[in-house]
Structure 1
């Protein structure tokens, strides 16, 4: 029988479910836990079951100040094995917490929502079951990473393009969609560009959503809603089932892809930028998400906090912040978007973007040829002294341009290390958790108007600076009507004072966002019991299955 270590104590604060109970754990007694681990070993192989203290501590790490270690980790390799894992959990009343890749940085990482839970890591479900080039879709299992799908398409289906997020090649596709995340391309609303979820319910039953629920349905991979009530949304940001695979939609690689980018040096021009871009999104002229990043977001991707230059003082003074802007050639606001289509469509879109931004900014358009020229200009600019500004600007967006073309890159993860006291070595891990970075995300949603963008920028700046932090912020156009504003609290995990400040800062920022009506589109594990979610918010139409609480109790809603 596998030895069951004593539950690992953590140094963080686990959230409550609003009743004072930590995560709503259904942990049984030690006998039932031991029985469950023995049965899991038989069902999926003892090599894929680990209740050692070392592994529990590893999975209990977090980039955020709140940490919760599991009492074990399971790694099933097929949907059938996931069914067996869930049935055994229900039988023995041991809570399980599924994760796809565990790369939920700043929002809980791979930590469960409460004590007494066993992490079910779906990394071994890493098969790409199908790619259909004619209709533009792929069927991927829960452990398939962005990098794996990208390479598979590049090698076998070069005429197809996927959407990519800034979370790097090792982040999973299904994991991001389970949190309703956003990417960069015309397929950037990833939840609405996926369908046919294969789901294991809490009684071990396996179902499929949409038309996938009907045997031999020819549109199972092609339409989202299906027949009758649409169930896809029930399994995102919930604890109603374990999604083991899904269909994600791809697009034919366009004849031409261009990035447009510009920077504005005046902080007060944020509202004008938003209001100029909104009609282009509403009209469908621009079809991809648009990212509007402040100076600190870009500076943090290039360097770490200048403790030596500030004498250890935090946060940055206005003067030092302005100096860093000049040093790294970034604006107060830095905008990036994509243009896709035929040569004629791209040409017409360029004209429309220039016209809409007249009097606000002058956009630069970048494609493969111009990027190659700019990189050459960048290489000689220090010697010749010409073209430096343009070359620096284009060099800054090179990795973002790759994202627009569907290639996952890791460069944007560097920003998580902003408050590190040691520089990042060239051979350091790209994983913020392994690197020891400290960060907490809050991503409020707001109407896509300049007035609301300015309001949130004021709230975030006031709150973070009052706690000794800098506001790393991006506004992302989810649609022409709404945007989200990912805001990062970066802190030094080795500094107890900064860690405590980060906790207090996040709590105040979360409260102010909710009070202002800027509800986050996703939450970290520490906030899932604080958002006021209830059966009224989540609906009462959940699939009927016994023992729902054995799946991720406390995740988003107390169901």
Structure 2
């Protein structure tokens, strides 16, 4: 085994081969000393010059990935970074599919991967408040709740079971179950600043950590939000309110027979949300293309025209699956009497405008799925496939982690991993960029938005897959997956051009993303969108710009 000095000389040689620093001699020594210090601190839990992948087909030079296991480790890692002026970029688990995965915004960073910090610190079974570290995943939380028979819902997302709870909340993500706005359910957090100091709220510092985890707004200026969608600190733990498991869950599905009826349905959805607030989760509105991407394999080349599924093929697929231009799904939560009353109200509000309005409970679908899975001639035909998809969807509505949305990333290539193998879209070279704009819940604006997306996607030979998810009775968030083949250079260029045009055109029309991927952060600088106050705060607490340079702030 080579000595440490030889080992770090080899490391330095690798790094300098891949990075171009202004003063190589000084930086060579700094990198060598910093890597030695990190390796000693973390007991060699460090990857040098890692080959990190992402779905967005962007490459970044990364010096190393560090895997701290405690708050003390993070504090020391940050102090070393600050001493040697080497920037660090933090990820919870790094499974930020379609937004950059583990890659940093800027070149030549150290990645601080917190996946080994996966402790459930505390849980109050009476209030449902849980305090966790960033590495805790949806699956881990589900296992914990099941083991101890705690009747609470997991704040699930379509990103899958192996994604971080804290990471999604920091990105201000959302789901479809109660407490759908995941940052809204964050009650308190702790974070490490660029100088290695620990941020805690006033209530916590006054000695009352208990009440701090029960009241979101604390005392004095609200500062917790500064640690979301930004680069002002590294969140090390978070207290989250979990929604209690209701005695009754009932999902509903309905279709819009004619594309022109979408505006009337938007008005109905807005009324449903207003009148059933507290009983209703989010409502998803999906176009025909999006539903077919969940139920049908991508067609062969002979069914494509100009690189897209032909109209004839779409019509044939839709007729086979009985998929109308728009499909809407949602769920009701509460006791049986409340849910049944809400069901009647939905029927009344939708009236003749909705086609095939049906309601299911998870238990009913689970029983049907058990029957189809045990009957071979049904299991492998269209009925069996449909029931399986419905069963996975119902798991998500019931607050159970599911991979139901992950196969989307594999749709173009049809190379989904074998059943039982975890899906890793970035490692499996799936091409996916998310465009996630906010859309006013105004009928005419929804039409304007969907028309814009469809025309721009088709222009760039991208299948127009549209989902609108209700944030409130005022706005939707739309998630547009830009799917492409990463091994095709022309397809990569078209995908990025599609995102660029969607962003720029959407900006002119008033549709702007609620979050950005690593390749689009520069838009904020381009349009001078960053408040001066935020720049002043960053300069004051991170003068060396050590923490995640370029993330929602210019370099």
- TM normalised by structure 1 equals 0.90
Secondary structure of the corresponding residue to residue 435 of structure 1: coil
Q: What is the CA deviation profile of residues 363-409 of structure 1, one whole-angstrom value per residue up to 9, with x for unaligned ones? A: 2111134314544786799989xxx98x8866543222111111110
Cα separation, partners in 2 of 1:551 and 1:189, compared to 1, 3 Å = same
RMSD over aligned Cα, in angstroms? 2.8
Q: For 1:276-307, what per-residue CA distance to the aligned partner results, in whole angstroms no more than 9, with x for missing partners?
A: 01122123444311111122222223344213
| 1:32 pairs with 2:41 | no
In the alignment, the residues of structure 2 paired with residue 325 and residue 403 of structure 1 have an alpha-carbon distance, to the nearest angstrom, of 24
How has the CA–CA distance of structure 1 residues 403 and 70 changed in structure 2, closer, same or farther, with 3 Å as cutoff? same
- In structure 1, what is the equivalent of residue 212 of structure 2? 220
In structure 2, the partner of 1:13 is: none
Name the SS of the counterpart of 2:33 in structure 1.
helix
Unpaired runs of 5+ in structure 2? none
2:530 to 509, 529, 534: 534
Deviations 1:179-199 (A, max 9, x none): 110111111100010121110
Distance 1:128 1:154 in 2: 14
CA pair 369-428 structure 1, distance change in 2 beyond 3 A:
closer
* Cα distance change of structure 1 residues 392 and 30 upon mapping to structure 2, 3 Å threshold: closer
* Contact 1:460/1:471 (<8 A) preserved: yes
The correspondence for 2:511, drawn from 518, 535, 542, is: 518
Looking at structure 2, the residues matched to 345 and 301 of structure 1 have their Cα atoms a distance apart, in angstroms, of 31
Change (3 A) 1:374 1:426: closer
SS of residue in 1 equivalent to 2:406: helix
- Residue aligned with 2:405, SS: helix
Aligned to 1:178: 170
| Cα drift, residue 312 of structure 1 | 7.4
Partner of 1:6: 15
Q: How do 1:324-343 residues align onto structure 2 when only pairs under 5 Å count? A: 324-343=317-336
Within-5 A mapping of 1:28-177: 29-46=27-44, 48-51=45-48, 53=49, 56-57=50-51, 59=52, 61-177=53-169
Q: 2:260 corresponds to which residue? A: 268
Distance in 2 of aligned mates of 1:195 and 1:9: 43
Query: Are 1:198 and 1:208, in contact at CA under 8 Å, matched by a contact in 2?
Result: yes
Give the conservation status (yes or no) of the 8 Å contact 1:254–1:342: yes
Structure-2 separation of matches of 1:116 and 1:28: 15
Aligned to 2:365: 371
> Distance between the aligned counterparts of 2:269 and 2:138, measured in 1?
29
Aligned residue number for residue 553 of structure 2: 557
- Distance in 2 between residues matched to 1:203 and 1:185, nearest whole Å: 38
Partner of 1:436: 429
Residues 435-489 of structure 1 deviation map (CA, whole Å, 9 limit, x = unaligned): 2210110100021122221111111101010011111111000111111100011
Distance 1:209 1:548 in 2: 24
Say if 2:225 is the partner of 1:233: yes
The 1:325/1:546 distance shift into structure 2, 3 A limit, reads: same
Residue 515 of structure 1 and its aligned partner are, at CA, apart by 1.5
Residue 193 (structure 1) aligned with residue 190 (structure 2): no
Deviations 1:244-276 (A, max 9, x none): 110111122111111111122322222222210
Shift of 1:32: 0.9
CA offsets 1:516-558 (integer angstroms, 9 cap, x no match): 1111000000111113331348475569424351000000122
Asked if the contact 1:136–1:252 (Cα under 8 Å) also holds between the matched residues in 2, the reply is yes
Structure 1 stretch displaced more, 321-330 or 103-112: 321-330
Kindly tell me: are residues 69 and 539 of structure 1, through their superposed partners in 2, closer, same or farther at Cα, counting changes over 3 Å? closer
Q: How many residues get paired?
A: 537
1:294 maps to which residue?
Answer: 287
Counterpart CA distance in 2 for 1:383 and 1:84 is: 60
Distance in 2, Cα, partners of 1:97 & 1:28: 22
Judged with a 3 Å threshold, the aligned counterparts in structure 2 of structure 1 residues 313 and 94 are, in CA distance, closer, same or farther, namely: same
Partner of 2:413: 420
Whole-Å separation in 2 of the counterparts to 1:50 and 1:383: 49
The superposition leaves residues 188-225 of structure 1 with CA deviations (integer Å, 9 ceiling, x where unpaired) of 10001012111000111011236334322431111111
* Corresponding position: 1:450 with 2:450: no
State the secondary structure of the residue aligned to 1:263. strand
- Residues 242-253 of structure 1 aligned to structure 2 (within 5 Å): 242-253=234-245
Gaps of at least 5 residues in structure 1 are 11-20
For residues 99-132 of structure 1, what are the alpha-carbon distances to aligned partners after superposition, in whole Å with 9 as ceiling and x for unaligned? 0011111111110111110100000100011111
Deviation of residue 428 (structure 1)? 5.2
Inter-partner Cα distance in structure 2 for 1:259 and 1:210? 42
217-226 or 70-79, which moves further after superposition? 217-226
Question: 2:123 aligns to what SS in structure 1?
Answer: strand
